[in-house]
């Protein structure tokens, strides 16, 4: 098997190999009788053609430019033993490397608003949007890391915008039509079906781009690199999702792609337009779906089982307990953990909510005042002030554990960010590492870990014992 470069065209037949030109090829000679398709087949074909014609002008290609700066020490000569030149011959240099990325997006408002994936534009110095008619614009970007959704504004109007469908009504088996720029091939449309709903996964767990996706639409419509940020449409031409990821051992399409539901995109878009940021409610518990055994044990067939509660959280203050089953919130039934997460996240911080729960097979009601995820993360994830090792840490909460793919009952301190090129990065500390000890001290909270880091002195080497998966690892970090 051989692979061809993206964009390389390989002719199906090499006419010159047999001495014929295209004009000499026989046409329909001695061929089989033509088939008359059923009207239903022709109708389906016409539907796909019409969707393409209606949506084509709303699809955009996106190019991101990212400059990565890094410091280097050089004595002007190659040193095969590493960078150990004498101090008087050593000089600092700063080098940079420009990386270009491509992705897709789609117009959602006629006045120049475009939706795409956050990972398409994350960290970019410049984002360029190319419209269907060839015009190019530099975009202003508003991002939401958690949902992997970004909103781009370009300075033009009277654009052709797509409509967002109600993704809660999407069913397995419906047609799915994906648009985008796979491998740089613009104006590409592929067709499949919705093959599953409510998929949950973590992507990018070893670097700072790790994201938790709690509710993805699965499709077998062909999605490839470059499709990210493009729309997944229904046969009415409405957006049901934003193409975000593929499951593939090869890096190419194998029939399993994922899209972020349009209802999530709509919620994020409205907040980014209205406030510039996305605020989410925070309860402070880890929910799980009920198993058949759980249903018998706790006396309810629906609801979200509470498996962990963070001390001092709204859930703790409200008196919720591990093994409570949340079956409703403000009168809205809760079928499982996904509904509970979704409702809490979309409820404004500071809102008082009434939770219907089962405890010891009895139905009770408790009230809780939701906290603010953004403020919680900001307070927990401030970088160390007195050192330059390049990490952010936070106390592990159920929500943070869920988003970072940790054990939902995990306790302690987790690395929430590692700055590329920093001492911590070079030493091998990774996103989602759980800190066990710092310089021989057991660590139990984010503030304590930050305090230990801030006390580190220039020129010393700090030792970190981290839990990575099921393995404890010793990492030595030089302090700059």
Q: What are phi and psi of 44, to 5 degrees?
A: -65, -45
- 254 or 30, which is more confident: 254
pLDDT of residue 10: 35
Architecture field, domain 381-478 = Roll (2.30)
Q: Which of 86-95, 322-331, 377-386 shows the highest mean pLDDT?
A: 322-331
The residue with greater pLDDT, 386 or 27, is 27
Report pLDDT for 28: 52
Query: Of the given ranges (130-144, 217-231, 362-376), which has the lowest mean pLDDT?
Result: 362-376
Say what the pLDDT of residue 369 is.
92
pLDDT digits (tens, 9 = 90+) for 280-298: 888 888 888 898 988 999 9
pLDDT at residue 280, as a whole number: 84
Which range is most confident: 44-48, 99-103, 183-187?
44-48
Query: Measuring CA to CA, which residue among 165, 185, 160 is closest to residue 175?
Result: 165
Calculate the CA 70 to chain-centre distance. Answer: 26
What Å distances lie between residue 87 and 74, 75, 407, CA to CA?
11, 9, 47
Q: Which of the following is catalytic: 148, 324, 342, 356? A: 148
Arithmetic mean of pLDDT, 12-20:
36
Catalytic residue, chosen from 64, 104, 167, 228, is 228
Mean pLDDT of the chain: 80
Contacts of 208 (CB under 8 A, 6+ apart): 417, 418, 419, 420, 431
More confident residue, 262 or 17: 262
Q: The dihedral of CA 226, 227, 230, 235: what is its sign?
A: positive
The better pLDDT of the pair 73, 142 is held by 142
Structure tokens at 119: 């990972």
Q: Is the pLDDT of residue 121 over 70?
A: yes
Tokens of 183: 């491998």
> What pLDDT, on a 0 to 100 scale, did the predictor assign at position 196?
94
Res 3 pLDDT > 50: no
Tell me which of 135 and 454 has the higher pLDDT. 135
Q: If we measure between CA atoms, which residue out of 368, 262, 348 comes closest to residue 306?
A: 368
pTM of the model: 0.66
Who has greater pLDDT, 437 or 469?
437
228 tagged catalytic: yes
What 3-state DSSP class applies to 181?
coil
pLDDT, residue 416, reads 81
What's the CATH number for 281-372?
2.30.42.10
pLDDT recorded at residue 86: 38
Percent of the chain with pLDDT over 90: 36
Nearest-angstrom CA–CA distance, 115 and 9: 31
Q: What confidence score (pLDDT) does residue 366 get?
A: 92
CATH class (in words) of the domain with range 167-275:
mainly beta
pLDDT recorded at residue 80: 30
148 in catalytic set: yes
pLDDT band at 8 (very low <50, low <70, confident <90, very high): very low
Residue 69 pLDDT level (bands cut at 50, 70, 90):
low
Any residues with CB less than 8 A from the CB of 391 and at least 6 apart, and which? 383, 384, 415, 417, 418, 419, 422, 424, 429, 453
Residues with Cβ within 8 Å of 82's Cβ and at least 6 positions away in sequence, in order, are: none
* pLDDT given at position 70: 53
Please list, residue by residue across 146-169, b when 16 or more beta carbons sit within 10 angstroms of its beta carbon and e when fewer do. bbbbbbbbbeeeebebbebbebee
8 A C-beta contact, residue 453 and residue 480: no
Residue boundaries of the structural domains of the chain: 167-275, 281-372, 381-478
pLDDT computed for residue 268 by the predictor:
93
Distance CA 393, CA 466 (A): 12
pLDDT at position 97? 75
Q: Any idea what the Cα angle at residue 142 is, between residues 139 and 144, rounded to 5°?
A: 140
pLDDT over 60 at 430, yes or no: yes
Q: Which of 64, 119, 356, 387 is catalytic?
A: 119
Fold match flag (281-372 vs 381-478): yes
């Amino acid at each position: 098997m051989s692979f061809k470069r993206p964009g390389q065209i390989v002719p199906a037949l090499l006419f010159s190999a047999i001495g014929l030109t295209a004009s000499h090829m026989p046409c329909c000679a001695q061929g089989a009788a033509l088939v008359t398709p059923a009207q239903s087949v022709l109708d389906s074909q016409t539907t796909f053609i019409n969707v393409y014609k209606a949506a084509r002008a709303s699809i955009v290609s996106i190019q991101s430019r990212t400059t990565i700066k890094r410091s280097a020490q050089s004595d002007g000569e190659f040193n095969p033993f590493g960078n150990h030149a004498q101090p008087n011959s050593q000089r600092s240099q700063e080098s940079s490397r420009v990386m270009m990325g491509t992705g897709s997006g789609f117009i959602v408002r006629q006045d120049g608003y475009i939706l795409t994936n956050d990972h398409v534009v994350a960290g970019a110095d410049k984002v360029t949007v190319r419209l269907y008619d060839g015009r190019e614009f530099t975009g202003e970007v508003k991002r939401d890391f958690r949902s992997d959704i970004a909103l781009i504004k370009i300075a033009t109007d009277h654009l052709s915008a797509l409509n967002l469908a109600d993704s809660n009504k999407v069913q397995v088996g419906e047609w799915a039509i994906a648009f985008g720029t796979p491998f740089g091939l613009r104006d590409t449309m592929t067709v499949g079906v919705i093959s599953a709903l409510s998929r949950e996964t973590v992507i990018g767990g070893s670097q700072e781009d790790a994201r938790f996706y709690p509710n993805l639409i699965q499709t077998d419509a062909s999605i490839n690199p470059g499709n990210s940020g493009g729309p997944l449409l229904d046969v009415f031409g409405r957006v049901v999702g934003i193409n975000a990821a593929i499951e593939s051992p090869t890096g190419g399409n194998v029939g399993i792609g994922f899209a972020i539901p349009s209802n999530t995109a709509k919620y994020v878009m409205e907040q980014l337009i209205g406030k510039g940021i996305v605020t989410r409610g925070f309860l402070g518990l880890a929910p799980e779906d009920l198993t058949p055994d759980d249903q018998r044990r706790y006396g309810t067939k629906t609801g979200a089982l509470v498996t962990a509660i963070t001390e001092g959280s709204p859930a703790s203050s409200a008196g919720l307990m591990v093994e409570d089953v949340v079956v409703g919130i403000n009168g809205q039934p809760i079928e499982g953990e996904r509904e509970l997460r979704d409702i809490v996240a979309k409820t404004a911080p500071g809102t008082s909510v009434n939770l219907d729960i089962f405890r010891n097979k009895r139905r009770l009601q408790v009230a809780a005042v939701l906290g603010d995820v953004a403020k919680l993360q900001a307070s927990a994830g401030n970088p160390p002030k007195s050192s330059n090792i390049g990490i952010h840490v936070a106390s592990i909460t159920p929500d943070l554990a869920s988003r970072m793919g940790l054990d939902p009952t995990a306790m302690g301190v987790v690395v929430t960010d590692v700055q590329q090129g920093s001492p911590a990065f070079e030493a091998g500390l990774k996103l989602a590492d759980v800190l066990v000890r710092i310089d021989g001290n057991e660590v139990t909270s984010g503030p304590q870990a930050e305090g230990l880091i801030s006390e580190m002195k220039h020129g010393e080497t700090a030792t970190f014992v981290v839990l990575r998966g099921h393995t404890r690892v010793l990492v030595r970090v030089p302090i700059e």
